[in-house]
Amino acid sequence: MIYARISGIASYVPEDILDNDMLSKMVDTNDEWITTRVGIKQRRILKQEGAGSSFLGAKAVEKLLASTGTAPEEVELLICATSNPDYRFPSTGSVIAHECGLKNSYAYDIQAACAGFIVALEDAAAYVRSGLRKKVVVVAAEKMSSMVNYADRSTCPLFGDGAAAVLVEPTEERTGVIDAVFHVDGEGRDHLLMRAGGSVLPASHETVDAGDHYIFQDGRHVYKHAVTDMLESSLDICKRNNLSMDDVDYLVPHQANLRIIEAVSQRAGIAHEKVLVNIEHYGNTSAASIPLCLDEYKNKLKKGDKIILTAFGAGFTWGAMYLIWDI
């Protein structure tokens, strides 16, 4: 039987830092308020003019290829998870593939909001298991600052820019992506969305003046569903694979809000030291948050570690993945 292993990982964040003290000069907030409510101290912001999510993604993919000794021509498929595409079309994946010289690769985007990375990783694993592709790059690239209203104190402290990428390859060893569960419920649409800019409400002077091209979030509603849904999907993936939380080496939740992460881990009954967190330094980077966290802790992870990834995002869409580490 063929399994799909993660054979490499890399990430990229912009150099510019926007910390809480700087943010307090832009909007009515302060470090204590932000830290207490969401656990974020700073976030990275891509300020380079004319650079979008593809810039971040290409940087991560270039680092990935270099670190794994993979020639660009060897990559057969690139899947990009993003909620902040460079353009409505063409796909951001196609831009990244071109920038990185992936001449033999097909590329496309996946839009599953903050759950995008694990959804794209499941796609990559399916291609590899089936034998259709042998070297697949999954990249999550998010210029979140492009959709943040820095006059809205409820949302602007939350988000940061960043990208991370993994290489997925076949193996006969039972390792890599073992199982995943995903759910979607359109009831959540009105609680977390960008109202304008799509085909329902195309851009106009009115939509711009109304601020409808920024993130809208009903924080309380999102918090409740994020905790419940990430918890239930994490417990479900463990049950499907006969795992207890004692068997799990690490839980890597989407880095949306420290209070959400703590609530999920406490209710799941997993030890605090097994929960990987880096939200303090990067904020919520949407689809990029899980691989960015994995990359930051990669020197701590050991071959054979049993890892649960879980995410929740707009849609609502959510799920969990069981991964056996193999780097």
The tens digit of pLDDT for each residue in 94-116 reads 999 999 999 999 999 999 999 99
pLDDT per residue as tens digits for the range 215-257 = 999 999 999 999 999 999 999 999 999 999 999 999 999 999 9
Please give the average per-residue pLDDT across 294-301, as a whole number: 98
**Chain centroid offset of residue 76 CA:** 22
Position 287 scores a pLDDT of 99
Position 110 scores a pLDDT of 98
Please enumerate in sequence order all residues whose Cβ is within 8 A of that of 239, keeping only pairs 6 or more positions apart, or say none. Answer: none
Active-site entry in 80, 254, 257, 281: 254
Position 184 scores a pLDDT of 98
In the chain, what percentage of residues exceed pLDDT 90? 100
183 a catalytic residue: no
**Cα angle 233-175-285, degrees, rounded to a multiple of 5:** 50
Position 17 scores a pLDDT of 98
Residues 282 and 61: their CA atoms lie apart, in Å, by: 19
By the 8 A CB rule, do 114 and 256 touch?
yes
Please give the average per-residue pLDDT across 11-37, as a whole number: 97
By the 8 A CB rule, do 286 and 161 touch?
no
Please give the average per-residue pLDDT across 184-206, as a whole number: 98
Q: 17-19 and 42-44: which strand pairing?
A: antiparallel
Give the pLDDT band of residue 84 (cuts 50, 70, 90): very high
By the 8 A CB rule, do 167 and 309 touch?
no
Residues 271 and 253: their CA atoms lie apart, in Å, by: 14
Position 241 scores a pLDDT of 98
Which H helix or E strand runs over 223?
helix 219-240
DSSP bridge pairs for 163: 12, 141
By the 8 A CB rule, do 121 and 140 touch?
no
Position 68 scores a pLDDT of 98
Cis peptide leading into 316, omega within 30 of 0? yes
Token code pair at residue 180: 């995943």
Please give the average per-residue pLDDT across 76-104, as a whole number: 98
Residues 326 and 145: their CA atoms lie apart, in Å, by: 33
Active-site entry in 80, 84, 100, 114: 114
Position 163 scores a pLDDT of 99
DSSP-derived letter for residue 4 is: E
What is the Cα gyration radius of the chain? Answer: 19
Residues 66 and 207: their CA atoms lie apart, in Å, by: 43
Please enumerate in sequence order all residues whose Cβ is within 8 A of that of 146, keeping only pairs 6 or more positions apart, or say none. Answer: 52, 53, 84
pLDDT per residue as tens digits for the range 126-147 = 999 999 999 999 999 999 999 9
Domains and their CATH numbers in the chain: 3-173 (3.40.47.10), 178-324 (3.40.47.10)
Q: What is the largest CA-CA distance in the chain?
A: 57
Give the pLDDT band of residue 48 (cuts 50, 70, 90): very high
The count of other CB atoms within 10 Å of the CB of residue 236 is: 15
281 a catalytic residue: no
By the 8 A CB rule, do 39 and 280 touch?
yes
The count of other CB atoms within 10 Å of the CB of residue 240 is: 14
Active-site entry in 191, 281, 284, 293: 284
Residues 204 and 183: their CA atoms lie apart, in Å, by: 33
Q: Mean pLDDT in the chain? A: 98
Position 16 scores a pLDDT of 98
By the 8 A CB rule, do 140 and 288 touch?
yes
Residues 128 and 105: their CA atoms lie apart, in Å, by: 14
Please give the average per-residue pLDDT across 41-66, as a whole number: 98
Q: What 3 state SS string does 32-63 have? A: HHHHHHHCCCEEECCCCCCCCHHHHHHHHHHH
114 a catalytic residue: yes
Residues 83 and 141: their CA atoms lie apart, in Å, by: 8
